[in-house]
Amino acid sequence: MSNLELLFDPSLIPSSSRSTLDDDLFLRPLASTDNARGHIELLTVLTSAPALSQQTYASTFQELKAALNTYFVIVIVQRSTDKIVGCGSLVVERKFLRNAGLVGHIEDIAVSKSMQGRKLGLKIINTLEDIGKGVGCYKIILDCSQSNIPFYEKCGFKQKEYQMVRYMEDPQSALKASENPRL
């Protein structure tokens, strides 16, 4: 693992999170080469996740890494296949509230269908919570579908409030237009 470029310092992951996995599994920060280990493919258990070129994956990785102490993406890798079988993200937001406190947002919890039922989702959630506590978050929140509420309640979360969403029609076109006003 020492030759991998990792998204964040692995010492932020408590040793207890790594020690309770089966021998064939290990948990670590996202690496710049994890596209080849099936990271994006795994995310298709959640939603549409079209394949990314290695260049796009690498530039996105570098952008996330440059935002120090903001993005914490963890993966569970199966040693025998060198494939990612679980992942999740914690995005840390600085607030003006609570004495300029930090809020952690858990996102993109995914476990491969072949590994579901082994409590890997719970392991990912608990690890992200521990990272959030370690960097000083005063609360950790997440959004989920109604069908996933029982899972997250088992993880210790409580339903509160409602989520609203508004999807932008084509955010990439808007971004390109703002970079080149003649488009």
Furthest CA-CA distance within the chain? 56
What does the alpha-carbon distance between residue 127 and residue 80 come to, in Å, rounded to a whole number?
A: 23
Name which of 109, 77, 52, 59 is nearest 1 in CA terms.
Answer: 77
Distances (CA, A) of 69 to 35, 64, 176: 22, 9, 28
Task: Give the global pTM.
Answer: 0.88
Structure confidence at residue 172 (pLDDT): 66
Please report the domains of the chain, with CATH numbers, ordered by start residue. 10-179 (3.40.630.30)
Q: What is the pLDDT along the chain (183 residues), one digit of tens a residue?
A: 558 999 999 999 998 887 778 889 999 999 999 999 999 999 999 999 999 999 999 999 999 999 999 999 999 999 999 999 999 999 999 999 999 999 999 999 999 999 999 999 999 999 999 999 999 999 999 999 899 999 999 999 999 988 888 888 876 665 565 565 554
Name which of 22, 42, 21, 45 is nearest 30 in CA terms.
Answer: 42
Structure confidence at residue 106 (pLDDT): 98
